[in-house]
């Protein structure tokens, strides 16, 4: 029968709508696009690597302050000057940082040299001969500070170079030397290090002078203030009759105290009121020790002040 079957094609016919046209086939990206993108990625990675290598190093050229070395210093470093190599401060082998370059020299076949003490800044833990690379012939004399403790260059620590806050042993017999302030029987504490005695501050009671057999010493005068074995107003002394070297302090309330210090002066005439006697030390910074006598001595060494 003609009334049944599928509807004939044509716009005038009613029935199920026609399906939408199929989308055009997707275009494959050009191989040229992939090549360009690949080159961009490679360039970006390569450029980043180049920046990391060049920016993180900075170890070309002369050794400079702020760079690091592979040698550190302990509290018993003494006067040794070790050979060191410059390394990145981020490197695990970095032990100390350069504070100042004081000299540069060419390496020679001689390993034993004599030199004057370098003029290093405060906080220096030691001096090292630093090469930029192991193969370099030139080396730099550098003042360095450890990246981590200990810091023998800290005031009173007893290492590195003598500076303000450090303590010294007595130089009355032999040579005075640096001594940790935490140890007993230190003689004097440095309150200034200057070029001449006239430059010492008003609180100075005694001075020591640094000497070198190999050259000039920068700021060779050590100005010592009160404390330790340095006698100051208010201290008492034992009987000096048979004393060798420095005068010994005594407890002012004990029978060992024979005199009390009331001041130190340039001449006996400048002793303060209350002084009855004095002692002198020729060549000292303040050669007159002004005393108030408490009891007699076995061998009278205390000179009486006039009047």
Whether residue 265 is found in the same domain as residue 292 = yes
Model pTM? 0.68
Whether residue 298 is found in the same domain as residue 242 = yes
Q: Is the pLDDT of residue 8 over 70?
A: no
- Answer whether residue 27 is part of any domain: no
Backbone angle region of 165, left / alpha / beta, with phi > 0 → left and psi within -120 to 50 → alpha: left
Q: What is the mean pLDDT of residues 206-215?
A: 81
Q: Who contacts 126 (Cβ-Cβ below 8 Å, separation ≥6)?
A: 72, 73, 77, 80, 81, 82, 96, 143, 144, 152, 153, 159, 160
The number of distinct structural domains making up the chain is 3
Lowest-confidence pick of 5-9, 152-156, 223-227: 5-9
- The pLDDT score that the predictor gives to residue 70 is 94
Whether residue 219 is found in the same domain as residue 271 = no
Whether residue 177 is found in the same domain as residue 124 = no
Hey, what are 257's tokens? 């105290």
Whether residue 249 is found in the same domain as residue 209 = no
The per-residue pLDDT for range 80-136, each reduced to its tens digit, is: 788 899 999 999 999 999 999 999 888 765 444 445 678 888 889 989 999 999 889
Query: What percentage of the chain carries pLDDT values higher than 90?
Result: 48
Report which of residues 231 and 35 the model is more confident about. 231
Q: What is the mean pLDDT of residues 188-195?
A: 95
Whether residue 75 is found in the same domain as residue 139 = yes
Whether residue 126 is found in the same domain as residue 80 = yes
- Answer whether residue 61 is part of any domain: no
Separation between Cα atoms, residue 198 and residue 250, nearest integer Å: 31
- Answer whether residue 217 is part of any domain: yes
Q: Which helix (H) or strand (E) element contains residue 97? A: strand 96-106
Question: What integer best gives the mean pLDDT of the chain?
Answer: 80
Burial class for 288, CB neighbours closer than 10 Å (0-12, 13-18, 19+): buried
């Amino acid at each position: 029968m003609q009334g049944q079957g599928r509807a004939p094609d044509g716009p005038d016919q009613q029935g199920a709508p026609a399906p939408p046209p199929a989308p055009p086939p997707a275009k494959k990206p050009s191989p040229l696009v992939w090549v360009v993108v690949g080159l961009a990625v490679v360039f970006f990675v390569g450029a980043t690597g180049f920046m990391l290598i060049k920016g993180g190093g900075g170890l070309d050229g002369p050794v400079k302050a702020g760079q690091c070395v592979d040698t550190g210093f302990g509290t018993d470093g003494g006067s040794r000057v070790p050979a060191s190599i410059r390394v990145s401060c981020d490197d695990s082998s970095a032990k100390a940082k350069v504070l100042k370059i004081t000299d540069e020299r060419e390496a020679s076949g001689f390993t034993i040299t004599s030199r004057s003490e370098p003029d290093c800044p405060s906080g220096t833990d030691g001096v090292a001969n630093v090469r930029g690379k192991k193969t370099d012939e030139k080396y730099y004399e550098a003042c360095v500070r450890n990246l981590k403790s200990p810091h023998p260059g800290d005031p009173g620590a007893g290492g590195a170079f003598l500076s303000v806050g450090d303590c010294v042993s007595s130089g009355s017999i032999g040579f005075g030397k640096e001594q940790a302030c935490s140890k007993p029987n230190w003689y004097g504490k440095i309150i200034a290090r200057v070029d001449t005695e006239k430059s010492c501050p008003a609180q100075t009671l005694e001075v020591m002078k640094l000497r070198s057999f190999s050259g000039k010493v920068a700021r060779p005068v050590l100005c010592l203030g009160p404390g330790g074995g340095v006698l100051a107003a208010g201290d008492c002394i034992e009987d000096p009759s048979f004393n060798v070297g420095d005068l010994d302090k005594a407890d002012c309330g004990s029978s060992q105290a024979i005199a009390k210090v009331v001041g130190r002066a340039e001449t006996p005439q400048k002793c303060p009121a209350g002084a009855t006697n004095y002692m002198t030390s020729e060549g000292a910074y303040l050669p007159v020790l002004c005393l108030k006598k408490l009891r007699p001595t076995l061998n009278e060494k205390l000179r009486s002040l006039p009047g």
